[in-house]
Every structure is written in structure tokens, then in C-alpha cells.
Amino acid sequence: GPLEEVSIPFYFGWFLLSSVQDKVRCTSMDFLKTLDTLEAFKKHMIDFTGKAEKEVDLEQYFEAKGTLHCTTKFCDYGKAEGAKEYALKPTVKDFYGSTFELSLSALFVTPRTVGARVSLTEEQLLLWPDDAEKEAASVVPAAASLPLGSRAHVTLGCAEGVEPVQTGLDLLEILALQQEGQQGELVEEMELGSLTYYGEGRWLLSLREPICAPACFSSFYT
């Protein structure tokens, strides 16, 4: 009967506690500010502007999108494939409302998005959908062969007209290049970590000290 129906949210995920949200936003802003001033970045500015000569202000280029979180399962109120199965998983029910410590291990920037890579622990992987990477294979073919959890990220900002779903795809693209053996071009040792360029406007900063971000596993309804 209707009372047994589960109400399926828009998405499930880990929601960063407010104290760490500010820290992550500041770190990301610092990174964008610094990246913008690097000669190596200026050399490839055309990836962002489409025009030589033109300058870009990265802090203005990206729009922040709501509260910082790492999506586990996008459910679209049950319309997304596998949504109901996910919502009914015992681990999802058991961990609902629990606090975890996410490790943000890298920041990445593309002409579309800026995000933080999340390196999941074995326990956190219990909440990760089996098909999250495979589902992206139509856009990033190599994604299906990447390890489970590769797509885990926090969207920090999107360029005008870009949807947040793009952030995970951008991350998968960079990880696929790494897996194919593309080292990228080590550009600079920054205070925050080492900066690598993967072509086509794709930048990855591996953090020297991963950011430990306490986050609550929960769900979002609009």
C-alpha cells in the first residue's frame, strides 16, 4: 500500500558540514586566483576564452552551485535508473544521517567546471553505486574501466550554462587520461600541491595535504 512506498529524494550524498564548506570555498578561490596569474595558464588561456589575447578572470568565470556535497546517487525522485534499489539498500538506510570524514585529494579545473576529487575509503565505497562510472561511459568511454569511486567529487562551480553533472564527467576524463598513461605536463609545484596540465583546458592540482571534510550522509529534496 501507499504507506510502504519509500519517498525517493532528488539525490543522496555526503553534505559537507558548514564549518568546512567555508574552508573548501576559500581554498578553491585561492587556487583559481593563483592559477589565473601563472604564465603556463595564460599560455593556454584560449581553452577558456576561445580567443587569443583575451583574458579570463577565473573567480568570475565559475558560478557556485548551492551547498557543497558529494553526490552518491542521483535519483530524480525515482525517475533515474536504479534509484529505488539504491534507496532501499540496507547500507543506505543504516548510514543515513551518519557523519563521515571525506578526503578531498585534488582540485581540478576545466573550461566547464571546477571541482574537488573525493578519495573514498572502503567503508564509504559501500554507499557508492556500482554503476556510477559505467553510467558515464557514453560520454567518457574509458570510464567503465576506472575503479569504483573514481567519479566521486564535490562540484565547486560551473561555467555559465553548464550543469553540475558535468563536474564528475570532467574528473573521469582526467582520470581516464592518467590511466591511459598520459602523465600530463607537470607545470608547477605550488604551495597547495603539484599542478598538472592535461591539455584542452584540463588542470589538476594534487593536494599536498588532502582536505579532511566532515560530511553527513543524507539526501536532498527541492
| 157 binds ligand A2P per the rule CB under 6 A | no
| 165 binds ligand A2P per the rule CB under 6 A | yes
Residue tagged active-site, from 8, 12, 28, 69: 69
Residue among 163, 185, 189, 200 that touches ligand A2P (CB under 6 A): 163
Residue 50 burial by Cβ neighbours in a 10 Å radius (0-12, 13-18, 19+): exposed
Q: Which is nearer to ligand A2P, 168 or 201 (CB)?
A: 168
Other Cβ atoms less than 10 A from the Cβ of 29: the count is: 17
Which of 135, 129, 211, 120 shows the shortest CA–CA distance to 172? 135
Q: Write the DSSP symbol of residue 180.
A: T
153 is catalytic: yes
Asked if 155 and 65 touch (Cβ cutoff 8 Å), the reply is yes
44 is catalytic: no
From residue 27 to residue 66, the character string flagging contacts with ligand A2P as x (rule: CB under 6 A) and all else as - is ----------------------------------------
Asked if 14 and 217 touch (Cβ cutoff 8 Å), the reply is yes
From residue 61 to residue 90, the character string flagging contacts with ligand A2P as x (rule: CB under 6 A) and all else as - is ----------x--x----------------
Size of the residue set binding ligand A2P (CB under 6 A) = 9
Can you point out the beta strands (E) in the chain?
A: 11-16, 62-63, 69-74, 99-109, 113-119, 153-159, 185-189, 193-197, 203-220
Q: Which residues are catalytic?
A: 69, 153
Write out the residues near ligand A2P by the rule CB under 6 A.
Answer: 11, 71, 74, 155, 163-165, 167-168
